A and B are shown apart, each in its own frame.
Chain A
Amino acid sequence: MRFIIWFAIALTGAVAWGMLALHRGETISAAWLVLAAVGTYLVGYRFYSRFLADKIFELDDRRATPAERLDNGRDYCPTSRWVLFGHHFAAIAGAGPLVGPVLAAQFGYLPGTIWIVFGVVLAGAVQDFVILFGSMRRDGKSLGQMAKEEIGPVTGIAAMIAVLSIMIILLAVLALIVVNALKGSPWGVFTIAATIPIAFLMGFWMKVWRPGRTMEATAIGIVLLFAALLGGRYVAESPSLAPLFTYSGPALAYAVIGYGFLASVLPVWMLLLPRDYLSTFMKIGVILLMAVGILLVLPPLKLPAFTRFIDGTGPVFAGKLFPFAFITIACGAISGFHALVSSGTTPKMLRRESDARLIGYGGMLMESFVAVMAMAAAAVLDPGIYFAINAPLATLGGTPESAAQVIQTWGFTVTPEQITGLAASVGEATLLGRVGGAPSLAVGMAQIFSHAFGQGLIALWYHFAIMFEALFILTVLDAGSRVGRFMLQELAGHVWEPLGRTSWYPSNIFASAVVVGGWGYFLVQGVLDPLGGINSLWPLFGISNQLLAAVALCVGTTLIIKRGKARYAWVTIVPLMWLLAVTLTAGWQKIFSPDPRLGFLSHAATLVAQVAAGSLEPARGARLIFNDRLDALMVVIFISVVLLVVVSSAWEWMQIVRKRKPAVVRESPFVETAYAS
């Protein structure tokens, strides 16, 4: 009977993939996308994750977890598995899985979807699971600590530098997405600006007036948030108020940088904590809403399965399907950042060892499903509209007429009236060239929501989606700047001890300024970039995130080999090889490609020629050239750090496999659980 059920699930998934792959025509229902994904997840979870759990990790419910042994009622705290699933999912899901698929939709919906679904089952979920397992067996140690103890001190420091530089690029690109979504949008700016006083109010409520009453404060915050959303419409329609909240890209960029600095030096309870609660609440709510919306409407996918841009000529970002589809979609398929979360709070909350399978592997499948939904939301747009929003202004020309013309040369039909009509219907002056993925995702979501929950509210839904994305991106900015500051202080403490003191105010200010200045520089570079910035920064982010995943997989492989399971080490080595192939190819092309749209150095060379020919102002040219070279240098740094980690790990593996070194596992000793089974 069981066999029949699983056979039916597998067959459904296979048929759905067949429909997606073979269908060539007008449109196809999003139902097939959902069926193909869910069918694959179920089979992957039932069979592959069980294989990992039983054969490699040997999860043992008789063994007490850190939550049980070290229970302190706070961070170490046994938590029932579905609640912890929610907690872990809220911590790993963010802007990444929503934005990446939308950008990768320039290749059509199929390549991205295949990577999201099969990538997660074979790579992403495996990474999250192995790191969660490793950390759980080591009392909740972090990825960096595990790298240091299991591979070596150099690897530990390399991993830390990797994390810090990835963080800088990540924060810059996320900030750029917010800036591109909010520039020239008084409604959006008002709503997001209002979240700052709302956060202060909540912070004082929780900390000063009614200490510890976080639920009350959050409930108040949510009500005020919706009031701010409605207020935004009033502001946008008021001729006297709208100009006060209308800003250009550079102005918003400096505002975001100032905000980031403030958030990083102010006490956490004032800004970070309240925003964290609000954005987590909104995130879970909106993702549930989106799932319900897509399942209710089952919208037709208007984007083709493949577009002509798989040849690398796409306007959203440069580069061919291989490797750039796999770089553009990092989160959702495999995300190195998760290794930090899986070795953070979650392992300290597992009640039973076997829960790690649902939470580590299953949680990542859930994130992958969010990415599939984002892909669906991008694919419900008319392709012409999709490219009008996502192609850079420099390519489209400034007017709806010029944009429609350019898009027609790509083979998609769209009229200037459609472009202006859509912008007006969502309450914006223009949607042209709003690169970064957030606005087109918001338009797609608004269309799905308004179909599912009532027509006519499309402008409200659009701004609801923008608010939700901007809210949690800014929260990541706060939290990330702070974590970056701690890491920098730890690294700087090796150089001069006082700089390592996180309680010393000058050190805090200094480290915050360096971190915020770091991502701020890349943000401004992106805003001023004539091609919109996403073009250069998103691939950098993708490469760095995938390389962090490579570090995590190295640590995972080491853990598996040291457990004496070298014959199963392919479960992490195969994804590692794939990631190295993808990221090293992409890295090489981003540095050395002779195509100036793709390669940083050849782009710099064309700028040099333009300056020499007098068609580019020397001062501006010098800055753009410097930025290109800086971007190339970042890629070089990422790749060298990761190669260092890979080589030192491989050395360690060889030593153990050849029995020149004993396979010593540094797991905490076995203690029998006191729980009744």
Chain B
Amino acid sequence: MPVETALNRLVRVIRRILGMPDYEEYLRHLKRCDAPGPVPSEREFFESYLRARYGRTPSRCC
């Protein structure tokens, strides 16, 4: 369905701009690189995203 793909693409763009996690993209990435080890669940992925986002460097400006 072209409408659905367009909508999906829009959602992905908004996600990326707002800096939201993208689990499906991550799964695709793991498949692409044949990463060893178990695949993290969506919950685990979200945890690691939080740690990466609010680390020691500011991600936002005044």
A-side contacts of B60, CB under 8 Å: 91, 94, 276, 341, 475-476, 479-480
A-side contacts of B55, CB under 8 Å: 486
Interchain CB contact under 8 A, B17 and A87: yes
A-side contacts of B20, CB under 8 Å: 214-215, 218, 277
- Interface size of A by CB at 8 A reads 56
Contact with A along B39-56 (1 / 0, CB 8 A): 000110110111011111
Interchain CB contact under 8 A, A93 and B16: no
A-side contacts of B1, CB under 8 Å: none
A-side contacts of B26, CB under 8 Å: 73-74
Contact with B along A2-40 (1 / 0, CB 8 A): 000000000000000000000000000000000000000
Q: Is the interface of A mostly helix, strand, loop or mixed?
A: helix
Interchain CB contact under 8 A, A95 and B62: yes
Q: Which residue of A lies closest to B23 (CB)?
A: A212
Docked complex Cα distance between A344 and B53 (Å): 10
A-side contacts of B5, CB under 8 Å: none
Chain B CB within 10 Å — which of A96, A284, A344, A476 has the most? Answer: A344
Interchain CB contact under 8 A, A212 and B43: yes
The verdict on A75 contacting chain B, using a C-beta distance below 8 Å, is yes
Q: For the complex formed, measure the closest distance between the CB of A163 and the CB atoms of chain B, giving whole angstroms.
A: 8
B-side contacts of A214, CB under 8 Å: 15, 18, 20-21
The verdict on A207 contacting chain B, using a C-beta distance below 8 Å, is yes
Interchain CB contact under 8 A, B11 and A344: no
Q: Which residue of A lies closest to B20 (CB)?
A: A214
Q: For the complex formed, measure the closest distance between the CB of B39 and the CB atoms of chain A, giving whole angstroms.
A: 11
The verdict on A58 contacting chain B, using a C-beta distance below 8 Å, is no
29 contacts between A and B (CB under 8 A): A73-B25, A75-B53, A77-B25, A83-B16, A87-B18, A91-B60, A94-B60, A142-B57, A170-B62, A212-B43, A214-B18, A215-B14, A218-B18, A276-B60, A277-B18, A280-B17, A281-B18, A331-B61, A340-B58, A341-B60, A344-B57, A344-B59, A345-B19, A475-B60, A476-B61, A476-B62, A479-B59, A480-B58, A486-B55
* Chain A residues with a Cβ under 8 A of chain B: 71-75, 77, 79, 83-84, 86-87, 90-96, 142, 170, 174, 206-207, 211-212, 214-215, 218, 268-269, 272-273, 276-277, 280-281, 284, 331, 335, 337-338, 340-341, 343-345, 475-476, 479-480, 482-483, 486-487, 490, 545
Question: 8 tightest A-B contacts by CB?
Answer: A73-B29, A86-B17, A73-B26, A96-B62, A211-B43, A214-B20, A212-B42, A486-B56
